[in-house]
Amino acid sequence: MERERTLVLLKPDAVQRRLVGEIIRRIEQKNLDIVALKMIRIDQKLAETHYEEHREKPFFRELIDFITAGPVVALVVEGPDAVSVVRRMMGATNPFQAEPGTIRGDFGLDLTANLIHGSDSVESAKIEIRRFFQPEEILA
Ligand SMILES: Nc1nc2c(ncn2[C@@H]2O[C@H](COP(=O)(O)OP(=O)(O)O)[C@@H](O)[C@H]2O)c(=O)[nH]1
Ligand SMILES: [Mg+2]
């Protein structure tokens, strides 16, 4: 398996609901490496860039309002096949369809506030990591 890096965001609902520790525990328990971590506020501009692909969707405004409403925890997670491993740990976007045992399946019940973001490909991971982290913030 290729070693990959992926961008993970613990969304404002995860912070508000005190699920940061639980979600990071799962990432660590899986034996993935955390190579960068910080708490930030996502501003309007960063939110709109990050969710650019959804600009024409009916839920876009709600999504931007939600992701900018409170602090998030941003991580760079590294490991074999990290992009898809993290996506599987997250579970389906719709928490009603997310399997038990996944983060969204175990803790989520809302389509917008679904706790966690993970990059959906190696290519978008590279772009998203650059968008959220300076090179010197990431462990070599
Ligand atoms: N209200 C609402 N929010 C959605 C819907 N689809 C996606 N979202 C939100 O937009 C984010 C980005 O969507 P997407 O990239 O498709 O899902 P993800 O990659 O699994 O996070 C999701 O994580 C949700 O927070 C929807 O149909 N309704
Ligand atoms: Mg996505």
For residue 57, the model assigns a pLDDT of 98
For residue 127, the model assigns a pLDDT of 98
* Per-residue pLDDT band at 52 (split at 50, 70, 90): very high
What are the domain boundaries of the chain? 3-40+72-137
Enter the pTM of the model.
Answer: 0.98
**Residue 50 catalytic?**
no
4 - beta bridge partners? 79
What is the helix (H) or strand (E) element at residue 131, kind and residue range?
helix 122-132
Which residues keep their CB under 5 angstroms from ion ligand 2?
A: 120
For residue 99, the model assigns a pLDDT of 98
Q: What is the pLDDT of residues 26-46, one digit of tens each?
A: 999 999 999 999 999 999 999
Residue 140 pLDDT exceeds 90: no
3-40+72-137 is classed CATH 3.90.420.10: no
Which backbone phi and psi does 126 adopt, to 5 degrees? -60, -45
The ligand with the least distance to the CA atom of 93 is 1
78 - beta bridge partners? 5, 33
| Cβ-proximal residues to 115 (8 Å cutoff; 6+ apart), any chain | 10, 11, 13, 14, 19, 23, 90, 103, 104, 107, 108
